[in-house]
């Protein structure tokens, strides 16, 4: 075990999550863990400037910075913070990226297009980062884009806890639904955790961002359907899938999404949809509009990230957190008993 304590530093992308992680680590460590005092600001021309006010020589540093909207600014903040820490003789720099932007550009979809996720991984590696901690990468193969260790956490254990609480009265009619064929593995993993059957919504696109048709694969009649996905952007596909499920005989539809990008008309669509509830995590900081949405709830990821950081620092297993049994004690006490996720 390192002789130093892990130190956290945050950019401007999600300060509330960074502070929550620090609070949870204070509980784990039995001592006060605070964010390193630093300033991350912009000059008048938009250039980003970072100054660290504390000594970090020989320290195990963790930068907490999702690369969410504005993706380019937040990515540059991450890179410049990493460079500042490396030049300040930090022993190790780990990038904690709850939401990894550009992950949807993980392959060439047609001629003369980039693989931007690979470019971003190269930038992060060359910027001085020695390890990456993230959650629910859009494509698992992105881990192979890095030449440094990558720990990819999963939100499904958190979702399983929430679902088991929300439907604790009767789980017999709950069915997990994948909104597309590509997300079947994710949906199957959650269905296995909660002991529910699985259905698929097969969608067909004429072009990016537009769905031409949807077909339900599986019998959803008289079931409470739970759509699970990793990213919700404009919510068009999600709301259409909910309509198709209700037309197929579902009694109610809920949605669980790891990363609530929620851009453009997303909130308007969700609030006016047939979705009884939608759950997102706090990997992306919620806007006032998101927080005010009546049928949207936010579940915390800080306990999982805090424990993961402690495990990385101490050289113990991170994959142990993939088990629901291991996660329950971490979330115990976060809410009053019986109030999980409310």
Query: Which residues are part of the catalytic machinery?
Result: 203
Distance, in Å, from the CA atom of 53 to the CA atom of 219, rounded to the nearest integer, reads 59
Report the relative pairing of strands 198-207 and 224-232 from DSSP bridges: unpaired
Burial (CB count within 10 angstroms: exposed 0-12, middle 13-18, buried 19+), residue 26: middle
Distance, in Å, from the CA atom of 284 to the CA atom of 17, rounded to the nearest integer, reads 8
Q: Residue 120 is encoded by which pair of tokens?
A: 């971003």
Distance, in Å, from the CA atom of 103 to the CA atom of 119, rounded to the nearest integer, reads 11
Burial (CB count within 10 angstroms: exposed 0-12, middle 13-18, buried 19+), residue 115: middle
Distance, in Å, from the CA atom of 250 to the CA atom of 51, rounded to the nearest integer, reads 54
Strand partners, 95: 63, 132
Strands (E), the chain: 6-10, 38-42, 48-52, 60-64, 92-97, 131-135, 150-153, 174-178, 198-207, 210-217, 224-232, 252-260, 277-281, 296-299
The answer for residues whose C-beta is within 8 angstroms of residue 2's C-beta and 6 or more apart is: 60, 91, 313, 314
3-class state of residue 341 by DSSP: coil
The answer for residues whose C-beta is within 8 angstroms of residue 168's C-beta and 6 or more apart is: none
């Amino acid at each position: 075990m390192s002789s130093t304590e892990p130190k956290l530093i945050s950019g401007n992308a999600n300060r509330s999550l960074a502070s929550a992680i620090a609070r949870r680590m204070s509980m784990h460590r039995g001592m006060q863990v605070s964010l390193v005092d630093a300033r991350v600001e912009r000059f008048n021309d938009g250039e980003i400037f970072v100054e660290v006010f504390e000594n970090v020589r020989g320290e195990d540093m963790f930068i907490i910075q999702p690369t969410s909207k504005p993706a380019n600014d937040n990515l540059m903040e991450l890179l410049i913070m990493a460079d500042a820490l490396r030049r300040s003789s930090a022993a190790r720099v780990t990038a904690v990226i709850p939401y990894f932007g550009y992950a949807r550009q993980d392959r060439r979809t047609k001629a003369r297009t980039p693989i931007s996720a690979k470019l971003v991984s190269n930038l992060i590696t060359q910027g001085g980062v020695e390890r990456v901690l993230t959650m629910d990468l859009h494509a698992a193969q992105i881990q192979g884009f890095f030449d440094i260790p990558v720990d990819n956490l999963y939100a499904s254990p958190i979702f399983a806890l929430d679902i088991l609480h929300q439907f604790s009265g009767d789980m017999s009619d709950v069915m997990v639904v994948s909104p597309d064929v590509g997300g079947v593995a994710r949906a199957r993993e959650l269905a296995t955790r909660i002991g529910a059957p699985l259905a698929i919504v097969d969608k067909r696109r004429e072009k990016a961002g537009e769905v031409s048709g949807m077909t339900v694969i599986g019998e959803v009649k008289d079931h409470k359907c739970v759509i699970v996905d990793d990213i919700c952007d404009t919510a068009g596909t999600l709301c259409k899938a909910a309509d198709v499920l209700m037309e197929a005989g579902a009694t109610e539809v809920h949605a669980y999404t790891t990363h609530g990008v929620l851009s453009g008309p997303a909130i308007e669509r969700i609030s006016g949809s047939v979705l009884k509830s939608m759950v997102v995590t706090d990997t992306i900081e919620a806007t006032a509009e998101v927080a005010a949405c009546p049928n949207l709830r936010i579940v915390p990821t800080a306990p999982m990230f805090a424990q993961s950081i402690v495990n990385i620092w101490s050289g113990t297993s991170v994959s142990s957190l993939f088990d629901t049994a291991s996660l329950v004690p971490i979330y115990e006490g976060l809410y009053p008993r019986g109030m999980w996720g409310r």
